[in-house]
């Protein structure tokens, strides 16, 4: 059992009136107790962030950058320790967890550099004696709400751009993975970040946290990553105070493998993105449309990769139940499990890497986000209508295309209604690229200069030069 985890509010590591227990998905055993902060402590965290804001905002950009770089170094130096905590409380394999911490540090570094490029604009004046400028200003205190599937990188992807922009942050991690978040906060404290710039509120009562930050006029922006359902609720709440929001919500990513693609390369890449984090990613492929001429070669390789994949347990029993429901529905409606297809049983919450063939668009698995290691393969013959099938979802986060035809690449990429399209592989979330969705997958971007702009207001300054 870890020591009791505390919340970071201003300069203090605070206990709360109660605690909640964090469990290891691999064993079901308790890992530690964490401060269960109520509305009162959330309000104190907003106080701390509001007090720290003027000085953080006024600090010269290169000094802010130095502190953020120091935090990135601290995080990277602790990658293995934090990785082990993440593996214990979230379940992903250690190499994935350590890699996530290093990638989180990289996001911070990139954002740190960006502080020195927060340029404004000079705009032509309306007449000879008029000058117009756009001044970038931090939006103010930001509340961040993060999910459990990437317990560190989801935090750094909000903190990096927010701190770079000059905002201060109150962050609430997912109640299933607060220990990783506490370890991130410790790295920031060790780096010498001024008190109150980053506050961490742990709680088992997320709705209470949401209600406090939404009702507090000092919080000028809320950045949320999580389910579409909770996202909708936050959008409704934000109307009251006309608060700025970024919401990164669910996805239902299609993969399109066209007849001119390399089926083996495509299957390898699909297996990587499908089985990463046991499929618990909003970018995970959910519907894999493969041209029938390639289906045999593609599926054979996908099954090989599935059988070799290293998978951790799913996050909890509810996750296993959802995956089971989707697979059973598909099997009952005529799909075939080429590998996997049934919960492993025993201790923990494991589900094996599964490949389903003979899947059709009407199955549950093609309509709801599975969030598990199941790869549903749908064959197609008509290259002209498959894009419409890919677009037939309320979600619009990621789409994957495999083709070597240049005309098709451009045409399809333009037709796909998704915030991110990758053709023939490639990373989705490098720090320099704007990650985010359209439609019910949300709005706002994380990464790149667009990501930093999400934490800025551009003030329009008009000056008359009357004598």
Q: Which residues form the catalytic set? A: 248, 282
Name the one residue in this structure whose structure tokens are 């029993």: 317
Closest approach of ligand ADP to the CB of residue 173, in Å: 6
d(CA 345, CA 85): 24
Residue 227 binds ligand ADP (CB under 6 A): yes
Closest approach of ligand ADP to the CB of residue 227, in Å: 3
**Strand partners for 398:** 420
Of 291 and 322, nearer to ligand ADP (C-beta) is 322
Residue 145 binds ligand ADP (CB under 6 A): yes
> Do the Cβ atoms of 54 and 168 come closer than 8 Å?
no
Applying the rule CB under 6 A, the residues between 398 and 427 that interact with ligand ADP are none
Q: Indicate the SS3 state at residue 286.
A: strand
Query: Of 43, 213, 149, 50, which Cα lies nearest the Cα of 223?
Result: 213
Q: Is the dihedral of CA 87, 89, 91, 96 positive or negative?
A: negative
Of 238 and 339, nearer to ligand ADP (C-beta) is 238
Task: Tokens for 260, please give them.
Answer: 């001119």
Query: Of 286, 284, 294, which Cα lies nearest the Cα of 257?
Result: 294
Find the part of the chain contacting ligand ADP (CB under 6 A) among 40-48, 144-152, 270-278, 335-343.
144-152
Of 37 and 294, nearer to ligand ADP (C-beta) is 37
DSSP 234-278: HHHHHTTTT-EEEEE----EEEEE-TTS-HHHHHHHHHHHHHGGG
Closest approach of ligand ADP to the CB of residue 86, in Å: 15
Find the part of the chain contacting ligand ADP (CB under 6 A) among 17-25, 118-126, 152-160, 225-233.
225-233
| Contacts of range 102-107, beta carbons closer than 8 Å, 24 or more positions apart | 102/76, 103/153, 103/429, 104/75, 104/152, 104/153, 104/155, 104/156, 104/157, 104/184, 105/72, 105/73, 105/75, 105/76, 105/79, 105/156, 106/72, 106/431, 107/153, 107/156, 107/157, 107/160, 107/431, 107/447
**Strand partners for 461:** 133
Residue 368 binds ligand ADP (CB under 6 A): no
d(CA 454, CA 405): 35
Residue 230 binds ligand ADP (CB under 6 A): yes
Closest approach of ligand ADP to the CB of residue 147, in Å: 4
Query: Of 237, 232, 187, which Cα lies nearest the Cα of 208?
Result: 237
d(CA 223, CA 15): 25
Of 271 and 397, nearer to ligand ADP (C-beta) is 397
Residue of the chain from 140, 210, 372, 436 that contacts ligand ADP (CB under 6 A): 210
Task: Tokens for 379, please give them.
Answer: 């064959």
Closest approach of ligand ADP to the CB of residue 321, in Å: 13
d(CA 433, CA 181): 24
Residue 146 binds ligand ADP (CB under 6 A): yes
> Do the Cβ atoms of 91 and 25 come closer than 8 Å?
yes
Residue 206 binds ligand ADP (CB under 6 A): yes
**Residues 161-190 as x/- pattern, contact with ligand ADP by CB under 6 A:** -----------x-xx---------------
Closest approach of ligand ADP to the CB of residue 437, in Å: 15
Residue of the chain from 138, 226, 444, 448 that contacts ligand ADP (CB under 6 A): 226
d(CA 133, CA 402): 45
Residue of the chain from 5, 91, 147, 447 that contacts ligand ADP (CB under 6 A): 147
Of 191 and 234, nearer to ligand ADP (C-beta) is 234
Residue 238 binds ligand ADP (CB under 6 A): no
Residue 271 binds ligand ADP (CB under 6 A): no
Find the part of the chain contacting ligand ADP (CB under 6 A) among 14-22, 132-140, 222-230, 334-342.
222-230
Residue 341 binds ligand ADP (CB under 6 A): no
Find the part of the chain contacting ligand ADP (CB under 6 A) among 111-119, 136-144, 205-213, 447-455.
205-213
* Count of residues that interact with ligand ADP, criterion CB under 6 A: 14
Residue 38 binds ligand ADP (CB under 6 A): no
Helix count and strand count (H, E) for the chain: 14, 22
Closest approach of ligand ADP to the CB of residue 396, in Å: 18
Query: Of 462, 436, 401, 465, which Cα lies nearest the Cα of 157?
Result: 436
Residue of the chain from 113, 233, 262, 329 that contacts ligand ADP (CB under 6 A): 233
**Residues 101-140 as x/- pattern, contact with ligand ADP by CB under 6 A:** ----------------------------------------
d(CA 467, CA 463): 12
The residues of the shown chain that bind ligand ADP, judged by CB under 6 A, are 145-147, 172, 174-175, 206-207, 209-210, 226-227, 230, 233
């Amino acid at each position: 059992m870890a020591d009791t985890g505390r919340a970071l509010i201003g300069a203090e590591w605070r206990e709360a009136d109660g605690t909640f227990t964090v469990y290891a998905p691999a064993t079901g055993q308790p890992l530690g107790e964490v401060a269960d902060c109520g509305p009162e402590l959330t309000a104190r965290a907003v106080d701390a962030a509001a007090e720290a804001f003027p000085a953080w905002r006024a600090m010269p950009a290169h000094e802010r950058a130095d502190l953020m770089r120091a935090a990135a170094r601290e995080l990277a130096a602790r990658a293995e320790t934090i990785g082990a905590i993440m593996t214990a409380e979230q379940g992903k394999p250690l190499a994935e967890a350590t890699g996530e911490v290093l990638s989180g540090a990289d996001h911070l570094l990139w954002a740190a550099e960006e502080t020195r490029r927060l340029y404004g604009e000079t705009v032509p004046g309306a007449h000879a004696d008029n000058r117009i400028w756009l001044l970038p200003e931090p939006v103010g205190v930001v509340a961040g709400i993060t999910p459990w599937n990437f317990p560190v990188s989801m935090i750094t992807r909000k903190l990096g751009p927010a701190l770079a922009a000059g905002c201060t942050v109150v962050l609430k991690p997912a109640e299933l993975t607060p220990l990783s978040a506490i370890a991130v906060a410790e790295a920031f404290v060790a780096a010498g970040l001024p008190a109150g710039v980053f506050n961490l509120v742990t709680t088992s009562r997320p709705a209470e946290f949401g209600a406090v930050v939404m009702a507090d006029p000092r919080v000028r922006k809320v950045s949320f990553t999580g389910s579409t359902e909770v996202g909708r609720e936050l959008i409704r709440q934000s109307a009251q105070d006309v608060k700025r929001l970024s919401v990164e919500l669910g996805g239902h990513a299609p993969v399109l493998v066209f007849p001119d693609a390399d089926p083996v390369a495509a299957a390898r890449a699909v297996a990587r993105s499908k089985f990463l984090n046991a499929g618990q990613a909003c970018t995970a492929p959910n519907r894999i449309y493969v041209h029938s001429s390639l289906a045999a070669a593609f599926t054979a390789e996908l099954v090989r990769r599935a059988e070799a994949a290293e998978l951790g347990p799913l996050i909890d029993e509810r996750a296993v139940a959802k995956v089971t429901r989707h697979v059973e529905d598909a099997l009952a409606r005529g799909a075939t499990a080429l590998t996997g297809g049934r919960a492993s049983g025993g201790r923990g919450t494991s589900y094996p890497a599964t490949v389903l063939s003979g899947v059709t668009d009407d199955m549950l698995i093609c309509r709801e986000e599975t969030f598990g290691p199941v790869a549903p393969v749908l064959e197609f013959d008509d290259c002209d209508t498959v894009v419409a099938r890919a677009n037939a979802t309320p979600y619009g986060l990621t789409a994957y295309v495999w083709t070597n035809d240049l005309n098709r690449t451009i045409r399809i990429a333009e037709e796909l209604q998704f915030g991110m399209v990758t053709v023939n592989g490639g990373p989705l979330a490098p720090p320099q690229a704007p990650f985010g969705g359209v439609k019910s997958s949300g709005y706002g971007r994380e990464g790149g200069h667009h990501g930093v702009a999400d934490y800025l207001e551009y003030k329009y300054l008009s000056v008359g030069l009357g004598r």
